[in-house]
Amino acid sequence: MKIELDLEGLDFDNIENVKQVVINNFNDHGLSISKLRTVKGGLFIYHKAGMVSTRKVRTLVEESDTQRTYSVRRKEYTSDFISTESLESFKINLEIIIQEAKQRKGVK
Q: What is the pLDDT of residues 18-56, one digit of tens each?
A: 888 899 888 888 888 999 999 888 899 998 888 888 889
Q: pLDDT tens digit string along 58-103?
A: 999 999 999 999 999 999 888 899 988 888 888 888 998 998 888 8
Backbone angles phi, psi at 63, to 5 degrees: -135, 130
106: left (phi over 0), alpha (psi -120 to 50) or beta: left
The pTM for the full model equals 0.74
Q: Where are the domains of the chain?
A: 15-105
Per-residue pLDDT, 86: 86
Confidence of residue 107 (pLDDT cuts 50, 70, 90): low
Helix, strand, coil % in the chain, rounded to nearest 5: 30, 40, 30
